[in-house]
Amino acid sequence: MTNEEMSTIDLRELFHAFYKNSILIIVVTVLFTLAMGLYTKYGIAEKYESKTLISLVSTNTETNQSSDQFRRSVELAKRYSVLSKSETVLKEVREDVQELHSTILSTKDIANSFTVVSVEETDILRITVTYTDKVIAKTIAQSVTEHSRDAYTAAYQYDNVFIIDNAEIINDPVSPKLTLNTLIGLVLGVMVSIGIVLLKEFSNRKIKTQKDIEEYLGISYFGAIPNDKKIKYQK
């Protein structure tokens, strides 16, 4: 028997195993899909974003001439991000949130809720806040922007910070992604169910066919005695 023939037979047996266990595959896949969808819908808290846009303008002409735009933009974003997450700024933001919403947040929670990135490698920076409450997300974004601006201009006298876009309330949550997570559950269900079928087939060492007798026992097959309980022997 050639390798091609053996591969064809193995594929047939594999597809037969999948067909035989099709109900198992469907049930496991549906369960995983439903579980992931329900967990995403009811088990994961929705998160909202609020963003501000600021521009950093340096009045130091020597610095502008000696620094290339990309390197300077990266430097500005990094040092502004570090300064915006300083304890001084975070404590002021915490006080604003507590005063406006009667909500007490730790400075660590506030620091983890926002990022500062350069927009397309320019000296324009975007501050993005992600939080479970859309109103508080807006408050944090605006508060971080204003207090970090004051702290930055005080520390770097040659740089001015201008707020281009103020924070707004965005009603649509950014996470979790119900459709995406449901599709992930579907894929996981298919993979797990196929794995179960393969494990069942490979762990089943029973001799079931003529081929199994010849392959595993190395003896020739001559015939078989039928095992049919419906057969009635006549006296």
Which range is most confident: 14-18, 63-67, 114-118, 199-203? 114-118
Query: Which of the two residues, 155 and 110, has the higher pLDDT score?
Result: 110
Domain 48-165 CATH assignment equals 3.30.70.1130:
yes
Mean pLDDT of all residues in 57-80: 66
- Torsional sign, CA 115, 145, 174, 103: positive
Contacts for 85-91: CB closer than 8 Å, 24+ residues apart: 85/111, 86/151, 88/151, 89/144, 89/147, 89/148, 89/151
Mean pLDDT of all residues in 204-214: 59
Contact 149, 107 (CB under 8 A): no
Given pLDDT bands bounded at 50, 70 and 90, which one contains residue 130?
Answer: very high
Task: Give the CB-side neighbour count of residue 38, counting CA atoms within 13 A.
Answer: 6
Instruction: Give the separation between CA 91 and CA 44, rounded to whole angstroms.
Output: 28
Mean pLDDT of all residues in 187-207: 82
The pLDDT value given to residue 203: 75
Residue 133 has pLDDT above 90, yes or no: yes
The pLDDT value given to residue 113: 94
Instruction: Give the separation between CA 178 and CA 83, rounded to whole angstroms.
Output: 36
Given pLDDT bands bounded at 50, 70 and 90, which one contains residue 109?
Answer: very high
Nearest to 167 by CA among 51, 48, 49: 51
Tell me what the pLDDT averaged over the chain comes to: 82
Instruction: Give the separation between CA 168 and CA 87, rounded to whole angstroms.
Output: 25
Given pLDDT bands bounded at 50, 70 and 90, which one contains residue 43?
Answer: confident
The pLDDT value given to residue 226: 63
Residue 173 preceded by cis peptide, ω within 30: no
- Within the chain, all domains assigned CATH 3.30.70.1130 are found at 48-165
Residue 1 has pLDDT above 50, yes or no: no
The pLDDT value given to residue 97: 96
The pLDDT value given to residue 213: 59
The pLDDT value given to residue 93: 96
- Indicate the range of 54-68, 96-110, 213-227 predicted with least confidence: 213-227
> Residue 53 forms beta bridges with which residues?
126, 165
